[in-house]
Structure 1
Amino acid sequence: MSRSAASRADHLSIGPLSKTFRLPTGSVAALGSIALDIPAGRFVAIVGASGCGKSTLLRIVAGLETAEGGPVRLGGRTVTGPGLDRGFVFQEHRLLPWLTVAGNLAFALKGLPRAEVRARVQSHLELVGLAGFADAYPFQLSGGMAQRVAIARALVNQPGVLLLDEPFGALDALTRIQMQQEILRIWQARGTTMILVTHDIDEAIFLGDEVVVMSSRPGTIKRRLTVPLPRPRDRSSPAFVELRREIYREFFAESDHPFAYEI
Structure 2
Amino acid sequence: MTYAVDASGFLDIEQVYKSFVLDTGTVDVLHNINVRVKPGEFICIVGASGCGKSTLLRIIAGLDREYEGRVSMKNEPVRGPGVDRGMVFQESRLYPWLTVEKNIAFGVQEGVSVRDRERLVEEHMELVGLSEFSKAYPHQLSGGMQQRASIARALVNKPEVLLLDEPFGALDAITKIHMQQEVLRIWEKEKTTMILVTHDIDEAIYLADRVVVMSSRPGTIKKIVPINLPRPRDRSSYDFMQIRKSIYHEFFTQQDQPFVYSI
Is TM > 0.5 for Structure 1 vs Structure 2? yes
Aligned to 1:5: none
CA separation in 2, counterparts of 1:235 and 1:175? Answer: 16
| Mean CA deviation greater in 16-25 or 251-260 | 251-260
* Equivalences for residues 10-159 of structure 1 within 5 A: 11-109=10-108, 110-159=110-159
Would the aligned equivalents of 1:10 and 1:193 in 2 still touch at CA under 8 Å? no
* Matched positions, count: 254
CA separation in 2, counterparts of 1:258 and 1:105? Answer: 43
Q: 1:10-66: CA deviations, max 9, x gaps?
A: 820012110011112211100011011001000000000000000000000001112
Deviation at 1:255, TM superposition (A): 2.4
Matched, 1:232 2:232: yes
CA separation in 1, counterparts of 2:32 and 2:259? Answer: 26
Deviation at 1:75, TM superposition (A): 1.3
Q: 1:195-253: CA deviations, max 9, x gaps?
A: 00000000000000000000110000000010010000000000000100100000000
Unaligned runs of 5+ in 1: 1-7
Aligned to 1:213: 213
Aligned to 2:3: none
Q: 1:259 to 1:88 in 2, by over 3 A?
A: closer
Q: 1:126-151: CA deviations, max 9, x gaps?
A: 10011111111111101100100000
CA separation in 1, counterparts of 2:260 and 2:174? Answer: 27
CA separation in 2, counterparts of 1:195 and 1:224? Answer: 14
TM-score (norm 2): 0.93
Aligned to 2:4: none
TM-score (norm 1): 0.93
Aligned to 1:254: 254
Q: 1:100 to 1:197 in 2, by over 3 A?
A: same
Q: Which amino acid aligns with 1:214?
A: M
Q: 1:109-160: CA deviations, max 9, x gaps?
A: 2431100000000000010011111111111101100100000000001100
Would the aligned equivalents of 1:30 and 1:53 in 2 still touch at CA under 8 Å? yes
Would the aligned equivalents of 1:249 and 1:259 in 2 still touch at CA under 8 Å? no
| Mean CA deviation greater in 101-110 or 115-124 | 101-110
Q: 1:147-194: CA deviations, max 9, x gaps?
A: 000000000011000000000000000000000000000000001000
Aligned to 1:3: none
Aligned to 2:203: 203
Identity of aligned residues (%): 60
Would the aligned equivalents of 1:10 and 1:160 in 2 still touch at CA under 8 Å? no
Would the aligned equivalents of 2:42 and 2:193 in 1 still touch at CA under 8 Å? yes
CA separation in 2, counterparts of 1:10 and 1:121? Answer: 31
Q: Which amino acid aligns with 1:204?
A: A
CA separation in 1, counterparts of 2:71 and 2:225? Answer: 22
CA separation in 1, counterparts of 2:120 and 2:208? Answer: 27
CA separation in 2, counterparts of 1:225 and 1:198? Answer: 15
Q: Which amino acid aligns with 1:230?
A: P
Would the aligned equivalents of 1:12 and 1:39 in 2 still touch at CA under 8 Å? yes
Q: 1:163 to 1:258 in 2, by over 3 A?
A: closer
Would the aligned equivalents of 2:8 and 2:36 in 1 still touch at CA under 8 Å? no
Aligned to 1:161: 161
CA separation in 2, counterparts of 1:10 and 1:153? Answer: 27
Would the aligned equivalents of 1:89 and 1:154 in 2 still touch at CA under 8 Å? yes
Deviation at 1:103, TM superposition (A): 0.4
